Amino acid sequence: MTASVTQEAGRLPGTWSIGLRRVQIELLQFSRDREAAFFTMLLPVLLLVVFGSAFTGDVAPGVPFSQYFLAGMLASGIVYTSFQNLAISIPQERDDGTLKRLQGTPMPSAAYFLGKVGLVLVIYVVQVVVMMAIGVTLFGVHLPSTAADWWTFTWVSVLGLVCCTMLGIAFSSVPRSGRGASALVSPIVLVLQFTSGVFFQFDELPHWMQQMAALFPLKWLCQGMRSVFLPDSFQRQELAGSWELGRTALVLTVWSLAAVVLALRYFRFRRRDDN
């Protein structure tokens, strides 16, 4: 009995248990970081309210713009909470010594990434609930009514989060400093939002822009979300004349795999000038 207790006390905590502690501490830090809270949580909500109030027309007979815009903002929410959040916060943590400190402890690297994944998941869920609530109460948006639509919503969200989390981790090695990170990352997200049909109707954009946007995940996330929030009759206005859900899954999977390879190859715990 005593012997087993001693042995228990001397064993290194497992990766999952440390990962869970990382999720808690990440959430605590996030909740106290005003800048991150604004860019990741408040901004999309603000955009939803502003755009929802400014554009009140219909995108198709019986389909208000707010219905279209909520789909785009939920897709954007995936990018905000995962890609933008991590591509900005990880360089900052590299600069302020968080990563160096962690590297000097027995914390397994995987636990750090588990913490990030947990953080992304929780803030995405909160964001979805807030945006849907605003959409329904303020702008009369109809939430999906079939199990099939909710299933699509779930897998598009999960695959999108996986893809953009990996991309955020990989991209975190690009900014030279934590301070420069948001100046580099925010415009990328903004341009993709404009070209992927978040702010404007995708089918009204120039052809070359549509082609370019189709290379990146956000366009497919938007399309997946539209399939959930817009009536199936709207499919005719899509470029391919259909929701292309199979292709969406394929594109997101390919991007995820590429991002994993890039993250494994380029992720750095240390600043460039620190070795």
Burial of residue 48 (number of CB atoms within 10 Å: 0-12, 13-18, 19+): buried
Residue 24 CB, shortest distance to other proteins, in Å, is: 8
Asked if 83 and 167 touch (Cβ cutoff 8 Å), the reply is yes
Residue 107 CB, shortest distance to other proteins, in Å, is: 5
Does the protein bind other proteins through residue 177 (CB under 8 A)? no
Does the protein bind other proteins through residue 105 (CB under 8 A)? yes
> Which residues inside 33-52 make contact with other proteins, applying CB under 8 A?
33
97, 140, 187, 231: which one binds other proteins (CB under 8 A): 97
Does the protein bind other proteins through residue 272 (CB under 8 A)? no
43, 98, 199, 201: which one binds other proteins (CB under 8 A): 98
How many residues does this entry show for the chain? 275
- Cα(252)–Cα(217) distance, integer angstroms: 6
In the bound state with other proteins, the residue whose beta carbon lies nearer, of 115 and 135, is 115
100, 142, 268, 271: which one binds other proteins (CB under 8 A): 100
Residue 111 CB, shortest distance to other proteins, in Å, is: 8
Does the protein bind other proteins through residue 101 (CB under 8 A)? yes
Q: Which pair of tokens denotes residue 246?
A: 């199979």
Q: Residue 257 contacts by C-beta under 8 Å, 6 or more apart in sequence? A: none
Residue in the structure block whose two tokens are 């248990």: 17
Q: Residue 45 contacts by C-beta under 8 Å, 6 or more apart in sequence? A: 127, 130, 131, 134
Does the protein bind other proteins through residue 21 (CB under 8 A)? yes
> Which residues inside 242-271 make contact with other proteins, applying CB under 8 A?
270
Residue in the structure block whose two tokens are 């990766």: 15
Binding-site residue total for other proteins (CB under 8 A)? 29
Q: How many CA atoms lie within 13 A of 1 on its CB side?
A: 0
CB atoms inside a 10 Å sphere around CB 122: 15
Does the protein bind other proteins through residue 29 (CB under 8 A)? yes
> Which residues inside 115-174 make contact with other proteins, applying CB under 8 A?
none
Q: Which pair of tokens denotes residue 90?
A: 């990880």
Footprint of other proteins (CB under 8 A): 6, 9-13, 17-18, 21, 24-25, 28-29, 32-33, 93, 96-98, 100-101, 103-108, 270, 275
